[in-house]
Structure formats: structure tokens, C-alpha cells
Amino acid sequence: MKNYKTAPFIVGTMRLGQWGSKMNISEIEKFIEDCIALDLIDFDHADIYGSYTTESDFGAVLKKRPDLRSQMRITTKCGIKMVSENRPEHQIKSYNLTKDHIKQSVDNSLYNLHTDYIDTLLLHRPDFLLDPQEVAAAFTELEKEGKVKYFGVSNFSVSQFELLQENFPLCTHQVEISLLHREAFENGILDQCQKWGIPPTAWSPLGGGILFKSSQDPIMIDVQKIITSLCKKYKAQPDQVLLAWLRKHPAGIIPVLGTSKLSRIKNAKESLKINLTHEEWYMLWQGVTGNEIA
């Protein structure tokens, strides 16, 4: 879709700042440089991350090092109005995808990130009051103004995606997908991405790390045994097997890595060498569901 490209993995920024590692500017700068050195040049933001502070933390690096901007692609999201001391006018958590809110959110993100364009803008959550023609008008203006190159959505249903797609061409759909969160395989979202030739991106691709923890649940124990056997076969780590499981799907799922640890990002890149067989893919599916497929 319009030559939209990303690296095989997208680097999530949610845990870099106040909601995670609380990195200082120098630490974020080194993290960015290290990711770029791995050819992982896509960074995933949202205006709300760090209670509306993480974009500014990242932007402080770009202010100091403007040379880095041309070496990366930035995704950010808008549409969630979160209760925060940094947004005292928000009385409750709500969604707003009006034209005015989208355009103001982009201007805020451009200012905070110290950049004059966003590579990809995602609508973070579907607004029940969404007017697809109004959203399309906002996207059209942002594109003409040179403020945003590509547009997509996050956490939309199949019908919500289709409603917007009929009014403006979307380039990606970010949803939660992991071995523990398999709805996208069955609810039509991945089918829809294949239909439109749109790469889906997966947030929380490792299921929050639950499968790495000891458990008394018989199903968890069984699936961990399968993961262990695949780790031995492929000389891999458990996270690498789970990422390879996602990437096996022909829709071309691109995981969003939620870690702030470079060692885990390197691990993820190494997982590109693993190509599970069809049967191994279904072994993991059967293991985690506890049932043979119909």
C-alpha cells in the first residue's frame, strides 16, 4: 500500500520513560543508536505514553541529535484522552477521533518529538462516535500539509477498519497478537490485512511474558514443554520461538517489541533465522488451547 515498509520488528517506546525504565536522555540516545545499528529503525509511540511525557523524552534526543531523525521512522498514535495531571481538562477517559482532535494531536506530537513530520499515524482505539468522512478529511489535510506520510489504525474491528478503508487508504493495522491472544487469527483481522495487502503489527507479541513464568496450570505446563523442545531443536530462546510463531503467518505479522533491553531486541532479530514447520505451529496452538483443532 503506497510502498509502505517497516523493518521486521518495530521498537516500542512505551516502557522507555515514566511507564517503565525511566531512562534519561543519554540512555534513550544510546538505545536509539543501538537499535539503528541493528537496522531496526521503526519506533512506535503514542501521545499518551508516560502519561503524555514519553514523546517529549524521545524528542529531547532528536533536538540534541537531529541527525538521527533521517535514520529512523516514527509511528505515533492518537485518539485516547486519558485522565492525567498533564491533561487537567480531561474529566474521564474517552476516545476522540474528530478532525480537530486528530489534527491537534499531530501538532502536539510534532512539537514534542522535535520533528516536522510523522512517518505513520495510527488511530489508537476506535471512537464509537467515529465519522469516517471526517477522519478521511483530517488524514487528507495532514498528508497535503506534509505532516504525516502514512495512516493506519490500532485495535479496530474488521467492520470498523472497512468503514474507514472505504474513505481513505490505510497502510497498517496494529492489534494485540500472541500465542496467548489469538483472536486476530479467527476474527477476520488477519484475513482482512491479507485482502488489502496491509502488514499487521502485533503489540504485546510475547503475551506479557506469562509463558516464561513458572505455572501450576496444566495447559501452561504443556505449552512450555513444547516451547522447550522447539528451543532445543532450533538452538533458540523461548521468546525467539514465540516470535517465529507469529512471523509464520502469511499476513506478515510485524511484532512491536515492548522491551527497553537491547539484549532482548538482539534476541528478537536473531529469531528471523527460525522457520517453524506447519506442524510445529499447530503444536503450539494445540498446546495453548488444550484441544486438538476441529
Q: What is the 3-state secondary structure (H, E, C) of 111-158?
A: HHHCCCCEEEEEECCCCCCCCHHHHHHHHHHHHHCCCEEEEEEECCCH
Closest by CA position to 288, among listed 235, 195, 201, 218: 218
pLDDT value, residue 3: 81
Residue 253 and residue 10: Cα distance in Å, rounded? 11
DSSP 77-101: EE-EE--BTTBTT--S-EE---HHH
Residue 183 and residue 233: Cα distance in Å, rounded? 28
User: Low-confidence residues of the chain, pLDDT below 70?
Assistant: 1-2
Question: What is the bridge-based pairing of β-strands 173-176 and 94-95?
Answer: unpaired
pLDDT value, residue 1: 53
CA dihedral sign, ordered 244, 21, 208, 228: positive
DSSP 198-233: --EEEESTTGGGGGGS----HHHHHHHHHHHHHHHH
Fold of 10-212+238-274: TIM Barrel (3.20.20)
Residue 193 and residue 191: Cα distance in Å, rounded? 5
Whether 4 sits among the annotated catalytic residues: the reply is: no
Q: How far is CA 203 from CA 9, 88, 100, 109, 172, in A?
A: 11, 28, 27, 21, 13
Q: Is residue 178 within 8 Å of residue 246, measured between CB atoms?
A: yes
User: Does the reported pTM lie above 0.85?
Assistant: yes
Residue 184 and residue 190: Cα distance in Å, rounded? 6
- Please give the grid coordinates belonging to residue 153: 489504525
Q: Which of 4, 49, 52, 150 is catalytic?
A: 49
CA dihedral angle for residue 237, residue 252, residue 255, residue 242, rounded to 10 degrees: -30
Q: Which residues pair with 154 in a beta bridge?
A: 174
Radius of gyration of the chain measured on its C-alpha atoms: 19
SS3 assignment, position 39: coil
